[in-house]
Amino acid sequence: MPALSRFGLRYTGKSGIVALMDDLGSALRANPDMIMMGGGTPARIPAAEQLFRRHLQEIVADPERAFSLLGRYQEPQGDPDVRARVAHLLRNEYGWQLSAANVAITNGGQSAFAILANMLAGDCEARRRVIQFPFVPEYLGYADVGLGDDFFRATRPLIETLPDNFFKYHVDFAGLRIDADVGALCVSRPTNPSGNVLGVDELKKMDGLARAKDVPFIIDAAYGAPFPAIEFGAAEAYWSDNVILMLSVSKLGLPGLRGGLLVAREEVVQAFASANTILNLASGNAGPALLDSLLRTRELLPLCRDTIQPWYRERLAIAVDCLRAELGDLPYALHRPEGAFFLWLWLRDLPGGSLRLYQALKDAGVLVIPGDTCFFGLDAPWEHAQQCVRISYALDASQLRAAARIIGRVARSLYA
Ligand code: PLP
């Protein structure tokens, strides 16, 4: 290996997400019957797949549309027609005052976040800056994108205990400080991994705090409204000219397209588009083309509302029922599932912690995500962070039942 730069060392060194993805990959190769509840892969929903195939066929059957899809580098912000249509959708649905100039097309949420985070934090002119998470656990894919160390800072959430073995995280506004070295505030909503959906009132409050310090507020709505809108309460959304909203087509069932959107103030969109052009030359055309096609025929929002969301709601009910039955009298709690497609299981005083549970479940044929990977940015250890796992329910009912039996048996054996 040649000598590596700081960039090289940073992105090739030990990383939680790469180690975990490697481990998940090798576990799947070793046991093809493994029940995969660890990834963020969306479910296969036949009606959605059929709709996507029909639109793609129509696009490739039309020589001009096919050429636009395959033969064109789009301009830095992306296809203006698609951006205008997205702005129109957001204006219509939410009344946000947006035009195409407020929208950039991205190569998906992951790379967009990596660009944005490094634009706003790290070595800055006056001082080093950090990205502040108002609460964790947060999406583990964020954890290693920063070019510098100590890139993220997080505030512990408050935990509300709810009836029926549920609990819910809340932002601890009394403990949330936005110091002078904060470059941006960031949340995922719905939150990966907990399935929390922050209320619009909470978003407004955080945005107000951020704005008062002249700091942008990143809202990553990879699972949220307007699409795929995997939210089980009212699918509300929030934007202001201080917000950088990130959307993705992945969780519609299209992670292979690597497409997404960024919605922000014009100068933020332009800055992002410049960086994205240097790194990627242009964003891919497939995601925007399909999105555009679904928007033109007005099939996108009904797809989310009538097909995708009910599908996950049904699987969620099965997963919760089965887990409850199998976990019985163990000291467990589930985060109230408000959105996305994960159950966040908290096993109080779990002997050996979440890594041991992850290993034992892997040996027994079920893959989950050990929760400690999602608590980055805290300044002190927290025992709660060792007691949770993330379980995807984007699976068939029979797999959910089989997995719940294994999770119940394995968890019980750790307490024995
Ligand atoms: N943001 C969140 C919260 C996610 O869970 C994911 C993927 O799991 C992403 C962003 C990245 O999605 P993509 O790069 O596929 O758009």
In short, whether 40's Cβ falls inside 6 Å of ligand 1 is yes
In short, whether 132's Cβ falls inside 6 Å of ligand 1 is no
Pairing of the two strands 243-248 and 217-220: parallel
| Residues 400, 37: Cα–Cα separation, whole Å | 9
Cβ(48)–Cβ(307) below 8 Å: yes
Q: Atom 8, ligand 1: which residue's CA is nearest?
A: 40
Give the pLDDT of residue 366: 96
User: Residues 36-45: pLDDT tens digits?
Assistant: 998 899 999 9
Q: Atom 12, ligand 1: which residue's CA is nearest?
A: 109
Rounded distance from Cα 21 to ligand 1 centre (Å): 14
Give the pLDDT of residue 17: 76
Task: For a ligand 1 pocket test, name from 250, 257, 291 the mutation site with the most ligand atoms within 8 angstroms of its C-beta.
Answer: 250
Give the pLDDT of residue 319: 98
Backbone angle region of 298, left / alpha / beta, with phi > 0 → left and psi within -120 to 50 → alpha: left
Rounded distance from Cα 198 to ligand 1 centre (Å): 17
Q: Quick one: which of 331, 328, 352 has its CA closest to 405?
A: 328
In short, whether 102's Cβ falls inside 6 Å of ligand 1 is no
In short, whether 142's Cβ falls inside 6 Å of ligand 1 is no
Cβ neighbours of residue 407 under 8 Å, at least 6 residues apart? 323, 326, 327, 345, 361, 366, 368, 391
Residue 153 dihedral angles phi and psi, to the nearest 5°:
-130, 140
Q: Atom 10, ligand 1: which residue's CA is nearest?
A: 109
In short, whether 250's Cβ falls inside 6 Å of ligand 1 is yes
Structure pTM?
0.97
Q: Quick one: which of 402, 245, 378, 380 has its CA closest to 318?
A: 402
Residue type for position 14: K
For the chain, which ranges sit under pLDDT 70? none
Cβ neighbours of residue 181 under 8 Å, at least 6 residues apart? 127, 128, 129, 130
Q: Token match 């059957």: residue? A: 61
Give the pLDDT of residue 304: 98
Give the pLDDT of residue 334: 98
Give the pLDDT of residue 205: 97
Give the pLDDT of residue 183: 96
